[in-house]
Chain A
Amino acid sequence: MVEWQPVILSIKVALCSLIFVTVFGVMAAHLMRHREFPGKAAAEAIFTLPLVLPPVVTGFLLLILIGKQGPVGRLLTEVLHTQIIFTPYAAILAGTVVAFPLMYQSTKAAFLAVDTNLEDAARTLGAGEWRVFLTVTLPLAWPGLVAGMVLSFARALGEFGATIMVAGNIPGKTQTIPLAIYFAAESNDLTQAGLYVVIISLITFALIFWLNTWSKAKAKPTRTAKAVS
């Protein structure tokens, strides 16, 4: 019998990560596109780092940061009298950090593909920067953003290395699907592990399948439109 708790927790964690990743990813991509500041190249590298670092290394760095003696950990204890280490919040943090580069890169590419003349046209028509962003940049970059969101969600859903470092493997509390698979396999319960493998594969497959179908449908109207003119 499948224990559904890790599945539900994984989806919750991945959804929360997705919210953070979307907000920060779009903000970072927007900032990097429009602002020049010292250390911009370093920031760019840091934004991409979690993609290339082994997740366990990212997890270790997060552990140093939010552990009881870490700077963030201490701040949480002093100000909010709480800890997030070994809680689902730590899993959300891990998911957010490892998925961030995917969202950032997709969004950056999508923003770069927006014709700056369209944004300038909006400005000459009296639109402020915020309106330009909401009515021109964002709608035109939308397919790229959605792709980034789907990839980020899938990445957060499958996160293992960083998660186990900061959230641990507490069944019923922080055990997500990948952790459940690992520990079921380790204790030789291959049926249980196999079931989780099927579940996470199906979810991920469905997401990517939907994304591809959606992107194709989205691209179609403009293609036929071009044929008309």
Chain B
Amino acid sequence: MLKVDIKKELADFTLEVCFTVERNVLVLFGPSGSGKTTILRSIAGLLRPDGGSIVHDGRVLYAAESGVFVPPRERHVGYMFQEFALFPHMNVRRNIWYGVKKHNQDATRMYERLLELLKIGTLADRYVGQLSGGEKQRVALARALMAEPAILLLDEPLSSLDVATRLELRAELKSLQELWDIPFVLVTHDPDEAKILGHNIVFLDKGRQVAPQWT
């Protein structure tokens, strides 16, 4: 279980949230600028909150009181960025292998399995500039999962895709989460996406958790 209880002073408001995520999908839903990405960045360790704590399965990732702050490289938190953040100077294969610590048989098996699951086997030698939006999304997903994350964060993973690809990948995300069985925290401002993907939904507005409202 992932428990997030953080506070962060932002330019226009104070972000203050407290929620838990089981091994399923938690959706952070709210208008843009409501602090969703800040929450993800805090969980990943890319940003230091001003107070509170982040604990995953008893392992403290951040605690203001005791001064614990685990750096991102040691958190085992996968992060899929909004624009995917694939390395443009590497081909798909090198992108996917980037987060692998030990290049052994298990890793190779995992790599082949991910290529098959995400249907990107034919793209291995291509560069990021030669991929479509949907392909980039799959590669980014493969790269994040290849690093064997204990938690996966997804920042508007489907927003830059066309409708058909979006529906297809939505289903894939759901089945991947079931396969990997780790907490997914997904940011979206699309109500359909939130309803279909989220086991639980946290509604946000100006940094606060609010009552459900589909706007």
Contact = CB atoms under 8 A, between A and B. Distances in A.
Interface of A: 115, 117-118, 120-128, 135-136, 139-140, 221-222, 225-226, 228-229
Nearest to B74: A126
Contacts of A118: 85, 87-88
Chain B contact-residue range equals 20 to 34
B190 interface: no
A127 B44 CA distance: 13
A124 B77 contact: yes
B147 A126 contact: yes
Contacts, number: 72
A214 to B, nearest CB: 16
Contact of B73 (A115, A127, A226, A229): A127
A45 B48 CA distance: 31
A123 B72 contact: yes
Nearest to B46: A120
B8 interface: no
24 contacts: A118-B88, A120-B72, A121-B81, A121-B85, A121-B86, A123-B45, A123-B71, A124-B46, A124-B73, A124-B78, A124-B79, A124-B144, A125-B98, A126-B147, A127-B98, A128-B73, A135-B98, A139-B89, A140-B88, A221-B129, A225-B127, A225-B130, A228-B129, A229-B130
B132 A229 contact: yes
B99 interface: yes
B85 A115 contact: yes
Given A115-B85, A117-B85, A127-B73, A122 B132 contact: no
Contacts of B99: 125-127
Contact of A122 (B45, B77, B88, B98): B98
A27 B76 CA distance: 30
Shortest 7 CB-CB distances between A and B: which pairs? Answer: A225-B129, A125-B99, A121-B85, A123-B72, A124-B79, A117-B85, A225-B130
B68 interface: no
A4 to B, nearest CB: 41
Interface in B47-96: 71-79, 81, 83, 85-89
Which interface residue of A120, A124, A126 has the most chain B CB atoms within 10 A? A124
B131 interface: yes
A123 B88 contact: no
Nearest to A142: B89
B147 A120 contact: no
Contact of B129 (A123, A125, A128, A226): A226
Contacts of B79: 120-121, 124
A66 to B, nearest CB: 41
A97 to B, nearest CB: 33
A90 B75 CA distance: 50
A135 B97 CA distance: 13
Which interface residue of A127, A128, A229 has the most chain B CB atoms within 10 A? A229
Nearest to B89: A139
A215 to B, nearest CB: 15
